[in-house]
Amino acid sequence: MIGDPHTPPELFTNVSGSVDDKGTCQCSVYLPDTTFPVQKAERLEIIAATLLEKFELELSQVRQYSKMIEVYQQQILNLTIRVQHMEESSISYTELDFQLLKVEISDLKRLVTQLKSSLVGSNVVVEQIYLEITNLTILVNELESLDKNNVLAIRRQIVSLQNRLKECEESRNKTTVPPYFPPGSCTHRGLLNVSQPYIVKLNWRGFSYRYGSWGRDYSPSNPENEVYWVAPLNTDGRYLEYYRIYSSFDNLLLFRPMYERRITYGEGSGAALYNNFLYYHAYNSRHMVKHDIKTNNVVLRKDLPDAVTGNRFSYAGVSWQDIDFAVDESGLWVIYSTENSMGNIVISKLNETTLDVINTWQTRQYKPSVSNAFMLCGVLYATRPMNTRKEEIFYMYDTSTGQEGRISVVMDKKLDTIQSVDYNPTDQKLYVYNDGYLLRYDVTFQS
């Protein structure tokens, strides 16, 4: 049977029941809770009304703050224009002018501080206004301290200094080409300056090998031949055991040695390469050693007369460099100290074939007070540290005249201590071993 769609549904159902003693039918019916939550609805209405009031209040405050911020920004703009005018004008201002400015700025600062405290959280615009007011305060204080009724005189001095500075910059920016002296030439008047260091790389054995020496071979018969040597000492800073030879500067950069050699043993960072022979101080002795790098054989050992060893007169900050070999345009030299010299530097010219001492000069410069030394055109140059990043070439001794003196050529360095300095006459560069790093400097000469 199909029901009439307009007929309302019948709200009954069959339920289980029971009959009591009196014949009355009893049954239990579970009805859903259809009571409307009036209290909850009223509470929601109250909350909504409260939120609306708060929102309206906050919105009105934001509108008020926006108007105040616009006013403050305009006041700051006016103050900024006035301060700029005081800066740029040549008029001398009285103390009253500054005090009025200070009062206005102080009022602004107080109002913005109140505004900041009334806002919840951070506001970028207000923070920016506060910063600008602080900068204005500093600027006005500086202007007041400078202005002593002589602004015109101060400005004249400033203009004069600016002109002088401009002239200095223009003269410095003019490109000046240093005078050219051919490789091996000593027609100049000595060392003038050194360049900024070119940091080649860390030595091939690593950062722990802080002591050592390196450079380029000088061969008078074949000066253009490129041979480089790197000789890090063992980590004790005393033993010279391994060295590498490179056939070009590119191969040195790429860690491609021509060969690696072992010797037993050298001492200290005073080795030098001259005409394919490595010269070094033999371990725990006064012997000078001439070592053939091609065959890796000792060619000659010879005692250096009167040389003091045992780390007694080594360089400042560099241990075990009692005997320091050097090469320049005229050949092979050795730098050391004797008991007779009382620790002052002694320079000897050597015969590179026999290691005989040809001539000797005694200086008045105490060897342990210098950090290192090198020879250039028969002149000894000594260095000392200025700080952890600068070294100074401060002393010279000319073996051709016997004259010694003070100079000042500042060298930048990468780390604290310079372990060795070697000069090469072919490329006229200084090769410096600096706490494990290989540095190179261009040299310019006095014309």
pLDDT tens sequence across 58-95: 777 777 777 777 777 777 777 777 666 665 664 545 55
Decide if pLDDT at 288 tops 50. Answer: yes
Contacts of 384 (CB under 8 A, 6+ apart): 316, 369, 370, 371, 391, 392, 394, 395
- Pairwise CA distance, residues 239 & 233, whole Å: 6
Decide if pLDDT at 231 tops 70. Answer: yes
224 vs 372, which has greater pLDDT?
Answer: 372
Backbone angles phi, psi at 364, to 5 degrees: -110, 15
Decide if pLDDT at 34 tops 70. Answer: no
pLDDT band at 116; cut points 50, 70, 90: low
Backbone angles phi, psi at 444, to 5 degrees: -115, 150
Predicted pLDDT at 9: 53
Predicted pLDDT at 182: 86
Decide if pLDDT at 394 tops 80. Answer: yes
Decide if pLDDT at 305 tops 90. Answer: yes
- Determine the average pLDDT of the residues in 153-161: 58
pLDDT tens sequence across 3-28: 455 555 555 566 667 777 777 777 76
Judge whether 345 and 382 are in contact, CB under 8 Å.
Answer: yes
What are 344's two structure tokens? Answer: 């002052």
- Pairwise CA distance, residues 382 & 333, whole Å: 14
243 vs 45, which has greater pLDDT?
Answer: 243
- Pairwise CA distance, residues 363 & 381, whole Å: 12
- Top mean pLDDT of 61-65, 129-133, 245-249 is at 245-249
Predicted pLDDT at 2: 47
Judge whether 180 and 424 are in contact, CB under 8 Å.
Answer: no
- Pairwise CA distance, residues 390 & 385, whole Å: 6
Predicted pLDDT at 180: 83
Backbone angles phi, psi at 422, to 5 degrees: -130, 135
Would you state the torsion angle of the CA atoms of residues 67, 68, 74, 75, taken in this order, to the nearest 10 degrees? 160
Predicted pLDDT at 52: 74
Helix, coil or strand: residue 269: coil
pLDDT band at 125; cut points 50, 70, 90: low
Predicted pLDDT at 131: 75
Predicted pLDDT at 24: 77
Q: What percent of the chain has pLDDT over 70?
A: 74
Lowest mean pLDDT among 138-142, 160-164, 279-283, 292-296: 160-164
Decide if pLDDT at 1 tops 60. Answer: no
pLDDT band at 236; cut points 50, 70, 90: very high
Decide if pLDDT at 149 tops 50. Answer: no
pLDDT tens sequence across 178-214: 788 888 889 998 999 999 999 999 999 999 999 999 9
- Pairwise CA distance, residues 136 & 419, whole Å: 53
Helix, coil or strand: residue 406: strand
Q: Which of 299, 341, 301, 307 is nearest to 324 (CA)?
A: 307
Tell me whether residue 333 is exposed, middle or buried, using C-beta atoms within 10 angstroms of its C-beta: 0 to 12, 13 to 18, 19 or more.
Answer: buried
pLDDT tens sequence across 401-415: 999 999 999 999 999
Judge whether 313 and 328 are in contact, CB under 8 Å.
Answer: no
